Amino acid sequence: MKIRSSFCLVPVAVLLASCGGTRPPAPAPDPSAAATAQALRQFDQMKFGMFIHWGLYAIPAGEWKGKYVRGIGEWIMFREKIPVAEYEQLARRFNPVKFSGDEWAQLAADAGMKYMVITSKHHDGFAMFKSQASKYNIVDATPFARDPMKDLSAACAKRGVGFGFYYSQDQDWHEAGGRGNTWDFPEQRDPRPYLEGKVFPQVKEILGNYGTLALIWFDTPGMLSEQQVDELRGMVKSLQPSCLINSRIGHNRHDYVQTGDNAIPIQVYTKEGKWEVPATLNDTWGYKKNDRNWKDPRDLIGKLADIVSKGGNYLLNVGPTAEGVIPEGSRKILRIMGEWLKVNGESIYGTSPSPFYLPDITWRATVKPGKLYLHILNWPGTKLRFEGLESQVNKAYFLANGAAVPFRQNGAVLEFELPARPVDPYDTVLALEIAGTEPKVSAACRAGQLPGRLDLYAWVARLRGEEIRYDWATQSATRFRRFEQESNALWWYPYKSLDGEYEVEITYACPDRAAGSRFRLASERRGAPPESVLEDLVEPTGGKFVTRKLTGKLVVTPQTDHISFDLPGDDRSAPMQLRKITLIR
């Protein structure tokens, strides 16, 4: 990835040269470039991190004045248009006496997480650290009157867990110059006083008062100009050159790419350098007391293997309570993931992405010199046929127990003999020792070379909305409920892997009693009308899975943000089970 400099290149220089004027000296190299490059290499080795969303929103915990509020917990001020003066009163009640930085850092270490990112200031504008720039902070405005970030950063350092801060630089619903709050402040605003009076000073504070930061995780750049983003990046790199910056700083001034929330690319993605997926353990980020939709550890371990095999890091979120307690549901899941990583971490940490395109959801692959790891996510029975590896395989064994796995190799085709049941209930890793350092892959099976028929399974999609569920037994998504705000849907993220017009097949099941709703399949761009839309009826299938070809073609381009599936009119057919859509060139 090209590391952006904080210097601005002035177009006048090009004009002078073209007119015969004296060419000015080349701009000085970015002094932080070497430190940034080294930090990126370390970041790529880490693979797995803990995200923490913690703030005043943990007090209402998804309810306001006795009313349940749909959507993610930390957006309750925005969703309910709560006046600043009213929301501020939450600070008087915020007293997280059960907080323990050591317990949180130890949980991250036990889970096999190599770095941590916590909200220093979210969109509600409240600082979870001691700030001289604004009295609206946890030390000056709450009965707790302590800076928990001091304890947490020290606890992470003691355990070798990289420490970083989330900071909302653009949205700030507490400030007239911050974006978002149009119920207290005029819609037109000048961000400069807010940036100079709060953002820049607070970013300096978190860079200067909490030791070495692995990264700063900015969010929603929105209204900031290129110059303002350059100023922000320049400040970070001048104070901590090795502190990484994510792509949500805006204007391509990043060190690594942030995907959308819970958004995993459908294929191996290496075109824009290092990337990371921020994701949740349940439906929310900030704590909501009624959200117990904890994801299956099998799903999360599978997602970790999926993301790493495609070239990314997995930043998995917990939302502590207002008392400072990480919910037991979160802790239990993370410890299961940690136990799996103790045995199988060799196939995750420090690996390279899959050199193969991913044909289905049976396996994922990661690589180390002389080794290929096959993560078997959906057990195929007693035989696994694997195509595309031209390197000679010298040995095959299960990473969990070291047991040898019999196999036959015929050219680029491998056939493995497997036990009837998986060795690991979550992800059985098959380690292959191969001739040579790097695997040799058949041209037709290489990452980036997609087949004429590409299956997009529901498991690969983002599940949008609180009600939708994934069923492992049928490998399908169901409960497509419709609401005015955040209806249930599936979103697939091509991330520039698709380009063209595609015929479409849909594989689903629907009870006869529930048939009749219209479904919509669309290729979408952020902030723009859809590129193309296909609509049809959910026909009855007697509850059995069928495959239907749709009329028309779906256009997908490198600019497509996501491919969506939902029920736009009514949700009579919400019980339908969607297994996959198939794109046919």
N residues, the chain: 585
Q: How confident is the model at residue 19 (pLDDT cuts 50, 70, 90)?
A: very low
Task: Report the pLDDT averaged over residues 310-315.
Answer: 98
Count the neighbouring beta carbons within 10 Å of the beta carbon of residue 161. 23
Residue pLDDT, tens place only, 110-146: 999 999 999 999 999 999 999 999 999 999 999 999 9
Domain 11-256+320-347 superfamily per CATH: Glycosidases (3.20.20.80)
pTM of structure: 0.94
Q: What are phi and psi of 203, to 5 degrees?
A: -65, -40
The architecture in CATH of the region 453-584 reads: Sandwich (2.60)
Distances (CA, A) of 457 to 77, 110, 374, 408, 503: 35, 32, 19, 29, 16
Q: Where in the chain is the domain with CATH 3.20.20.80?
A: 11-256+320-347
Q: Where in the chain is the domain with CATH 2.60.120.260?
A: 453-584
Residue 426 pLDDT more than 50? yes
Burial of 500 (0-12, 13-18, 19+ CB in 10 A): exposed
Q: Where in the chain is the domain with CATH 2.60.40.1180?
A: 363-445
Residue pLDDT, tens place only, 64-119: 999 999 999 999 999 999 999 999 999 999 999 999 999 999 999 999 999 999 99
> What DSSP line would sit under 56-72, residue for residue?
GGGTTTTEETTEE--S-
Q: What percent of the chain shows pLDDT beyond 70?
A: 95
Tokens of 263: 């958004």
Residue 34 pLDDT more than 70? yes
Distances (CA, A) of 393 to 379, 408, 409, 410, 521: 21, 9, 8, 11, 42
3-class SS shares of the chain: helix, strand, coil, % to 5? 25, 25, 50
Contact call for residues 142 and 91 (beta carbons, < 8 A): yes
The pLDDT assigned to 25 comes to 52
β pairing state of 48-52 and 115-121: parallel
Tokens of 356: 């193969």
Class of the 363-445 domain? mainly beta
Task: Report the pLDDT averaged over residues 511-526.
Answer: 97
Please give the helix or strand (H or E) that residue 299 lies within, else none.
helix 297-310
Residue 24 pLDDT more than 80? no
Residue pLDDT, tens place only, 216-271: 999 988 899 999 999 999 999 999 999 999 999 999 999 999 999 999 999 999 99
Cα–Cα distance measured from residue 220 to residue 278, given in angstroms and rounded to the nearest whole number: 14
β pairing state of 63-64 and 215-218: unpaired
Helix axes 226-239, 200-208, angle to 10 degrees: 20
Tokens of 163: 């420490």
Contact call for residues 569 and 479 (beta carbons, < 8 A): no
Tokens of 435: 């001739």
Best CA proximity match to 498, nearest among 566, 442, 561: 561
Instruction: Please tell me whether residue 186 adopts helix, strand or coil conformation.
Output: coil
Q: What are phi and psi of 189, to 5 degrees?
A: -150, 155
Best CA proximity match to 161, nearest among 53, 49, 277, 246: 49
Chain mean pLDDT for the chain: 94
Cα–Cα distance measured from residue 202 to residue 35, given in angstroms and rounded to the nearest whole number: 23
The pLDDT assigned to 485 comes to 83
